[in-house]
Structure 1
Amino acid sequence: MKKIKILLLIIPFLCFSQKEKIKQLDINLTNYEYPFPVRFFDLNNQRQLFKMAYMDVTPANYNNKNIVLFHGKNFNGAYWETTIKALSKEGFRVIVPDQIGFGKSSKPDNFQYTFQQFAENTKKLLAHLGIEKTAVLGHSMGGMLATRFALMYPETAEKLILENPIGLEDWKTVVPYKTIDWWYESELKQNYEAIKKYQMTNYYDGKWNADFQKWAELGAGWTTAPDYDIVAWNSALMYDMIFTQPVLYEFKNIKSPTLLIIGTRDKTALGKQWASEEVKKTLGNYAELGKKTQKAIPNVKLVEIQNIGHLPHIESFDQFIKPLIVFLKQ
């Protein structure tokens, strides 16, 4: 009985100490250091002036080839660190923007998020940097954006790389719709424990290490900040964008040579938890979705990474980077 009482006294302190380890981050991550210098590009969108953060890494052995890296919904440009280093070593100039609403970029009070707007903003950034042609690589939500960019600017997108992109199936046809207000209330409930549980379960098959930990901490750092409600509201708007703006119906129109990198263990599907049990079994099966998407895109090569989940460039970097470099050099 005494042991139980002692445990009950200790548990709150353990929980508190865990939360204490999570660094509180301000809304634009000014107190979080990225792996390379960050610059800012001024944008005028929807009668508002924003600052778009980006890293631009040009190596000494520049091979006159460029690549833009598009981050996923729950991340920002910082998680591309090892990818940037590897591509720079091979001579590629690497441009890594934080889209508006993400990372170190501006967080609007209100904004109509569209993949077209993101693509146009990125095109303006490239024009500012004097870049006329580039490969584009998108992970997760960034895969939807990279696809939209390639569709809008085929003369710019020399090559398209999709790493476990979401949106390979149209969830709104089988999953009940949730309002932006619903998403907002859900995001307000986020904390470190919830983020870690989600990522461990959905990204890493129940495994956890220091590399995974730092990205969970980065996401959780916002949740205790005084202005987290603005981050949560932007996140809700983005969920609605993802849910209502599918790109898969236009895969047939992609003109860029494409590399599709698929971690086959991935089961990511927006809103799967609200679908019927029968439908739920059919959603987020990347082992099948990769092959289906391969048939839909005209000039595509599929690379399957067995027993790897949603983040190959974090979970199994060597298996991710080798086919990517080969494809970029072709």
Structure 2
Amino acid sequence: MSVSLTRWLPGLLLTAALPLLAHAEGPQYGPELQGFDYPYTLKHFAFQSQGQSLQMGYMDVAAHGKANGRTVVLMHGKNFCGATWDSSIQALSEAGYRVVAPDQIGFCTSSKPDHYQYTFQQLAANTQQLLKALGIQKATLLGHSTGGMLATRYALQYPDQVEQLALVNPIGLEDWKALGVPYRSVDQWYQRELKVTAQGIRDYERSTYYDGRWKPEFDRWVDMLAGLSNGPGKTQVAWNSALIYDMIFTQPVYYEFKDLKMPTLLLIGTSDTTAIGKDIAPPEVKAKIGHYEVLGKQVAKLIPQSTLVEFPGLGHAPQMEEPAQFHQALLGWLNKTNPVR
């Protein structure tokens, strides 16, 4: 009996401690973000892509104000989800817009396939299938961060279906590999993504996104991302994340900004210093990339029908950092460039 107690007691003590450890490390969510609450009803769009049955999570929110008959499609960033658009969905809906906020394949509430060739063209085609199924023929696109690269590709791919294009601190305003940032293989990205922690996400976002500042409301989004990355689908999430980072680094849209045909708004928080691969770039390269106070002005000159709105002192996500200021600028431009139907 004494041997049996000696054998089992440590196990019992460890089991009892596990819930406390899990709580200390934050919540864990399923591979499609199961367990995380979205601000509006989450729906799912099932479709075939690359020989696979996949599904995209999305929110489709009707106009709560006087409906103007127009739709805004929101495209999230790499470290964000459709849910992080919550304040923008509310502001746009109250202003009379129908708002559709999908989670792209590989992200958040959508499928994480074992094998998938990620291209911005493919993600654009997936989104176009969703909008077609919803009966949306024309829309305004609002893309943030990596979603800005996707929105740009979508606008180039389906120009007749895009009335207006708005880009919020989009990445891809420069071509990092052409500027000397070293290539990181998918396997290297994968090993990096397996080590994601809530504290690491918070430290990165505080220093890169928000110029050293932090607001308590950002913690929910850190928990969302860390909970997805460290949940039961950890390896699935990390592998898809690695493939997506490779897509971002190797598929620049920078050279095609000049080909955009629709009115385009650049909404730029000038304190943002985001640049993919900056952490492994040589010092001389690191010093010259990710300067949004410069990049916004440069790219505004490349886009034929562009308007630049800068938010001095704000960071990578002005729509989350100062929602009222951001939405006033966005809605003012949307109304001013309202296409004639």
* TM-score category (smaller protein): over 0.9
Normalising by structure 1, what TM-score?
0.93
Match of 1:255 among 261, 269, 279: 261
> Equivalent pairs: percent with the same residue?
51
Equivalent residue letter for 1:59: A
1:221-254 deviation digits (Å, cap 9, x = unpaired)? 1233232000000000000000000001000100
CA distance in 2, matches of 1:303, 1:208: 23
Match of 1:241 among 247, 262, 275: 247
Mapped pair 1:190 → 2:231: no
> Which runs of structure 2 are paired with 1:1-330 in the superposition (5 Å)?
20=24, 22-60=26-64, 61-173=66-178, 174-330=180-336
* Change in 2 beyond 3 A, CA 1:200/1:19: farther
CA distance in 1, matches of 2:323, 2:40: 19
Equivalent residue letter for 1:237: L
Find the residue that maps to 1:240 and give its secondary structure. Answer: helix
User: Could you list the runs of 4 or more consecutive aligned residues of structure 1 that deviate by over 4 angstroms after TM superposition?
Assistant: 16-19
Aligned residues: 316
CA distance in 2, matches of 1:98, 1:222: 14
Normalising by structure 2, what TM-score?
0.90
1:55-79 deviation digits (Å, cap 9, x = unpaired)? 0001242210110000000111000
CA distance in 2, matches of 1:131, 1:223: 33
Higher mean displacement: 52-61 or 262-271: 52-61
Equivalent residue letter for 1:134: A
Does the 8 Å CA contact 1:19/1:192 hold for their aligned counterparts?
no
Q: CA deviation at 1:278?
A: 1.5
Q: Which structure 1 residue ranges, 5 or more long, are not aligned? A: 1-12
Does the 8 Å CA contact 1:199/1:216 hold for their aligned counterparts?
no
CA distance in 2, matches of 1:193, 1:304: 29
Find the residue that maps to 1:186 and give its secondary structure. Answer: helix
Find the residue that maps to 2:246 and give its secondary structure. Answer: helix
Equivalent residue letter for 1:20: A
CA distance in 2, matches of 1:100, 1:185: 21
Higher mean displacement: 191-200 or 76-85: 191-200
Q: Which structure 2 residue ranges, 5 or more long, are not aligned? A: 1-16, 337-341
* Change in 2 beyond 3 A, CA 1:160/1:74: same
Name the Cα RMSD after superposition: 1.3
Q: CA deviation at 1:208?
A: 2.1
Aligned twin of 2:11: none
